[in-house]
Structure 1
């Protein structure tokens, strides 16, 4: 839920309701991350977490990125903007780790890879539980230093949290959960398409210790999702989701709209390069309410998302 969707108000509301709210460090500076942590602490005394993107290891093809940027020029001209230029690829990772080690929240999660063992140990020494998102058995084994693994199935909205920029081995959550449970001894959090109390009960019966939910909270008042994103989740014209690299250069699941349909097959596997290229287009499209051009991240259970307050959603999911 990076990019402003996760807010201190949302994280605090979830934690106060008995869940564990998470903030997103992706796409913001270390200083902005610290401000979100401080704001959340002012709103709740309950434990919460911060999720961090690992730096990209993609060997991006500069020519392919340039060609895709050229392809998007007409889209940009229609919006009155210029496509972005690929920039920093580390998402301010080192500064964020230094800041978190100085004063961490109760939980720190990592996506797109596993941090170095010394980082895990240092966070653990400060009383923090370290969570790593995995999308395969091999990734689960590689993340052995983590305290907890978040097992993300194919149904999940937004970015696939795989260690590499690939769709290889994409598995439904329940199948993946069984495989990972049989391969590693870690406590497992289940993520991907969970939208009802029955879904949560189902993954707990398969051995998960908790369920991670994102899309179900996108329409709630505390969510920072854009107005066009919230409206699209309830719009009957949007009937399905699909994986795409069109917006960021990494596989991510969103509502099927015009931009996704027209550009997915042309987008290179280059993250965050494509993210930087499309950023001005997405930002302007969101401000204009242009649902056909902006990324509308959503898991397969998106139609069950409601405008209820976050606390009510936690209660509903808890059964």
Structure 2
């Protein structure tokens, strides 16, 4: 089954949810253009989510995907937090930041009962998860709302597990993808495959629609994914320069330098995520031992990001990006989608 039929959309396209890079405006634009727009919810409070949903429904009745994280929150560890702040101390001194005034805590919260109540009020067409799935009673509440359910798989084993849990489709997240790796069964990065290797293996291993994600940013990539049997594609990085994007000026500048390398890094959240290499990644190493586990690393580095961006530099910013930025364009989302899909069936 192609995702047009599964979700009631016109194009085999899902816009990747990108927390911190977008709000409802991008989701609305993509859904209005015939794809499945997505709203990232992991950094929203329930009231903020309600407001975003009211905004969406005031403009479009087309299907929209709400995306949540399903990670297990680690226990706070004072020693690890102090270790991380000590690592960042030279930068605090450079920018005149007092680390004692930085509040600890997580900005990314897993799906919980409060969010389930919001879904029961609004009953969105599609709900997707990153880092596996919520526990069974929460998942059943989502199912009882009539939502189609998706989740990301980074290995065949994860895809099989998701199928056993009764999801409606699988997002095959290749290693090229920007942002956080969605793994949940095995954190060994050596198990992670590229998109074009992962997608056919998951298709062969499951009976569910498989959506290809990672490194797809142009018409050729879309055509390649669909030709190997993907039910649709998920694009994120390609939308980051669009008019509806909410990324910072320094992030926009980094994306326009298509030759700058990307790397997986745990410096910004504690979990591996792909972004453009910047100063702190080069100084400390993209994958370091100092940060506390996901998502507890963010609070200590956030003040550095804020003050550096005020000075026009992205030395401490999570410049999330997939490996392929060639499709990024400073146009409306609708224009980008038109350029990607017009005449695609004719090749």
Greater shift in the superposed pair: 120-129 or 55-64? 55-64
2:212 alignment partner in structure 1: 190
What is the count of residue pairs matched by the alignment? 318
Match of 2:150 among 120, 128, 131: 131
What aligned pairs does 1:63-102 form with structure 2 within 5 A after superposition?
63-83=79-99, 84-88=102-106, 91=109, 93-94=111-112, 95-102=114-121
CA offset at residue 280 of structure 1? Answer: 2.1
Match of 1:54 among 51, 56, 70: 70
Tell me the TM-score normalized by structure 2.
0.85
| Contact 1:120-1:146 within 8 A present in 2 as well | no
Q: Which runs of 5+ in 2 are unaligned?
A: 1-16
Measured in 1, the distance between the counterparts of 2:339 and 2:188 equals: 34
1:7 alignment partner in structure 2: 23
- Are residue 295 (structure 1) and residue 323 (structure 2) matched? no
CA RMSD of aligned residues (A): 2.1
1:45 alignment partner in structure 2: 61
Give CA-to-partner distance per residue, 1:9-62, whole Å, 9 cap, x none. Answer: 111110111111101112221211221121122222211111101133556765
| Contact 1:136-1:169 within 8 A present in 2 as well | yes
Match of 2:267 among 246, 255, 278: 246
Measured in 2, the distance between the counterparts of 1:40 and 1:4 equals: 18
Measured in 1, the distance between the counterparts of 2:58 and 2:86 equals: 45
Measured in 1, the distance between the counterparts of 2:78 and 2:226 equals: 44
SS in 1 for 2:191: coil
1:315 alignment partner in structure 2: 338
1:18 alignment partner in structure 2: 34
Match of 1:105 among 124, 127, 132: 124
Tell me the TM-score normalized by structure 1.
0.92
Give CA-to-partner distance per residue, 1:263-282, whole Å, 9 cap, x none. Answer: 23344461111122222222
Give CA-to-partner distance per residue, 1:103-141, whole Å, 9 cap, x none. Answer: 231111100121233333332332211111111111112
Greater shift in the superposed pair: 83-92 or 107-116? 83-92
1:118 alignment partner in structure 2: 137
Greater shift in the superposed pair: 81-90 or 239-248? 81-90
Rate the CA distance shift 1:82–1:58 in 2: closer, same or farther, 3 A: same
Give CA-to-partner distance per residue, 1:57-92, whole Å, 9 cap, x none. Answer: 556765334212211122133334345443248716
